[in-house]
Structure 1
C-alpha cells in the first residue's frame, strides 16, 4: 500500500549533471538498486527527454533506447518511465521506448503550452503507458492559467498532472496554492517535481503532499540539474517519520544513494552561488552547465548571465540565448 508514489529521476534529470554521459553499466546498477529498494517508477532518458541527444542539448554517450532497455531488464517490480518534450521528441520515440521496456510516459510542455501535447498524450495512452502531463517552469504563470493548462492535459487523457518547479523558484505557499487549485479543479492525480536551487525542494514537496499531490519526484543524492531535486532517500525517511507509506525500503534506498550514486557524482550537489541565483532569478535548472561554459568563454560572471536570462524569461530550448547574453555582457 502506497500513500505517496515516489518517482526517481536520477537517470533522467541526473543526466544533466552527468553531461549525458551515463554508461550502460551505471544505469543497470542504479536501476537494480532502485528496483530492490521498492521504488515504483524511475525515469530513464536524456536529460531533455526522448530524442534529446543532439549538439544543442548535449550528445549522449549511449543511445537512450539502449539505456531504457538495460534499466527495464533489471526490473522485477519497478517500472521505467520516460520524458518526452514535443518538438524534441516525437510520437515514434514513444513507440520505441515501449519496445525497449518503458511503462510510463510524462509529456512535458512549457506551463502555457499544454495544447501542443494532445497527440502525444493520446498516443501514449494508446500504447498502454501510464501517462502524465508535465507543466514545466510552473512559476511563470498564475495559478488560474495552470488550472486551465491542467484541464487541457486531463482532456487529452493524462492520468496525472505535474506541477514542475523547473527553476527551484517557488516558495512553499506558492506550491500549496497551485496544488490545491488543481485538486479542486481536476479529477486526475497530481504530481510535483522540485528543484533545490534555493534549498526548498523538501519543503515544497511536503507542501505539495499536504495540498493533495500523490506523485512526488526525487533523485538519489539530489542528482539532477542545477542543485538537483528533492533527495529521494531523505524524502523516504521524512515520509516514514510522518507515517506516510511509500513502499520504499529506507535502508536499501540509502545504500543505493551512498554505494552506487555517490561514487559517480561529477561534483557535489550543493547549492553554489550560481545555482542559488538560478533559483532566485527563475532560470531553467538545466542551463547551469551551459552558463558555466559561456562564463569561461566570454569572461563574464555566471551570476550576471543568469540574472539577465531570468529578466528575459528564457525557457527550455533557448540555450543559444545563454551565449548571446554572455557575449552582450562582455561588450
Structure 2
C-alpha cells in the first residue's frame, strides 16, 4: 500500500487485538476465534500479533477475570496461525512470573512485553535480565503514563533501555491524552534512548488515532492498534484506520490494506458483540484518568451498590487508582453509598 510518494519512514504496527480485546469480552475468546483472527492478521502482513489474557501472562484469576483458555492453549493456537507474523505476549510483573515468561518463550513468543506503572520501571529489571539472557526481543512499557511528566517518563525509559529493553514506550492506559501531550512525552523519550519508542493509545476521548499519528511524527517507531479498536473501555487505536492514515502521511507499514480491512471485518463479526463505543462512562474514565479496563467492574459494582458509575470513576481518579487495584472499586462504591445515607 503506497498512498503517498517520497521518502518514507518505517513504523512497525503491533496488534494486541487478541490480548487487549479480551478486556471487552471478559477474556472468553475461544480457540477458533483466536486462530481465525491471527491467520487474517498474518495474511495482511501485520508484523506482530499479541495474544493473551487482557492483563497478560499469569493474570487469569477471579480478581480480574478467568480466561476461557490457559496461557499455554492461547499461545499454541496463535503460534500455529502465524507462519509469517511475529507472536507477542505481555506481562505485568506481579501477575506473571519468570516461569510464565519462560513458558511463553518455549511456545514460540517472538516479542515479549513487560508493563509497569509509569514511575516503577525498576520492577522490570529482573525480568528484562532473564529475557536478555534468553536472547529474546524484550520490550517495556510504562502504564498510566499521564501520571508522570515528560522528563520522568524519559528517565524511566532510559533506565529500562539500560536494563536491556529492546524497545520502550508508554501506554495511554486511560485514554487521557491529547495530541500535544503525546508529542511532548514521545519527543522526550526519543531524545533519551537509542532504541525504538512505542505508543499504545486508548480512545476514551476520541483521540486514539490522532494521538498515534502525533507519536509517529514525534519519532515513535512502534504503534499499537487493534482491529475495530477492540479493547478495554472505549477501545484502542483502530488498526484499519491508523494504518492508511499513517501511510497517507508518508510512513511505511508494509501492511496490505484490503487484507487488513478483511481482518477487521472478521474481527467485528467473530470476536465482539459490537465495536467499542465512546459512551458516557468511557468518556468519564478518560477525563478522570482511570484505567479503561476498570469499566466492566465499575458498572457491575456501581449497579450492585446503587451508585453512579461516573462518580466512582472520578473518585478513583482522585485516588490515582492504577491497574491491579480493582479492589478499590468496591471501597469507593461503598463509600459513595455510605455518604448518601
Normalising by the smaller structure, the TM-score range is over 0.9
From 63, 67, 74, the counterpart of 2:74: 67
> Which residue pairs with 1:273 in the alignment?
280
Q: How many Å separate the matches in 2 of 1:167 and 1:81?
A: 22
Q: How many Å separate the matches in 2 of 1:142 and 1:72?
A: 38
Q: How many Å separate the matches in 2 of 1:19 and 1:218?
A: 19
> Which residue pairs with 2:19 in the alignment?
12
CA separation of 1:174 and 1:56: change in aligned 2, threshold 3 A: same
> Which residue pairs with 2:53 in the alignment?
46
TM-score (norm 1): 0.98
Query: Is the Cα–Cα contact under 8 Å of residues 153 and 161 in structure 1 kept in the other structure?
Result: yes
Q: How many Å separate the matches in 2 of 1:90 and 1:264?
A: 28
Deviation at 1:171, TM superposition (A): 1.3
Matched, 1:286 2:293: yes
> Which residue pairs with 1:118 in the alignment?
125
Matched, 1:226 2:260: no
Q: Secondary structure at the match of 1:12?
A: helix
Alignment gaps of 5+ in structure 2: 1-7
Matched, 1:31 2:49: no
Q: Secondary structure at the match of 1:269?
A: coil
**After the TM superposition, which parts of structure 1 deviate over 4 Å for at least 4 consecutive aligned residues?**
none
Q: How many Å separate the matches in 1 of 2:96 and 2:159?
A: 20
Query: Is the Cα–Cα contact under 8 Å of residues 201 and 236 in structure 2 kept in the other structure?
Result: yes
From 131, 138, 141, the counterpart of 1:134: 141
Query: Is the Cα–Cα contact under 8 Å of residues 30 and 261 in structure 1 kept in the other structure?
Result: no
Deviation at 1:240, TM superposition (A): 2.1
From 195, 215, 223, the counterpart of 1:208: 215
Select between 216-225 and 146-155 the one with higher mean Cα deviation: 146-155
Alignment gaps of 5+ in structure 1: none
Q: How many Å separate the matches in 1 of 2:125 and 2:266?
A: 41
Deviation at 1:155, TM superposition (A): 0.8
Deviation at 1:262, TM superposition (A): 3.3
Deviation at 1:267, TM superposition (A): 3.6
Deviation at 1:2, TM superposition (A): 7.1
Q: How many Å separate the matches in 2 of 1:20 and 1:108?
A: 19
Matched, 1:199 2:230: no
Query: Is the Cα–Cα contact under 8 Å of residues 227 and 267 in structure 2 kept in the other structure?
Result: no
Q: Secondary structure at the match of 1:83?
A: strand
Size of the aligned set, in residue pairs, is 331
Query: Is the Cα–Cα contact under 8 Å of residues 66 and 100 in structure 1 kept in the other structure?
Result: no
Query: Is the Cα–Cα contact under 8 Å of residues 37 and 266 in structure 2 kept in the other structure?
Result: no
Matched, 1:311 2:315: no
Deviation at 1:241, TM superposition (A): 1.7
Query: Is the Cα–Cα contact under 8 Å of residues 284 and 313 in structure 2 kept in the other structure?
Result: yes
> Which residue pairs with 1:147 in the alignment?
154
Query: Is the Cα–Cα contact under 8 Å of residues 218 and 230 in structure 1 kept in the other structure?
Result: yes
> Which residue pairs with 1:301 in the alignment?
308
Q: How many Å separate the matches in 2 of 1:310 and 1:136?
A: 15
Matched, 1:170 2:181: no
TM-score (norm 2): 0.95
Query: Is the Cα–Cα contact under 8 Å of residues 227 and 272 in structure 1 kept in the other structure?
Result: yes
Matched, 1:22 2:29: yes
> Which residue pairs with 1:256 in the alignment?
263
Structure-to-structure mapping, 1:314-329, within 5 angstroms: 314-329=321-336
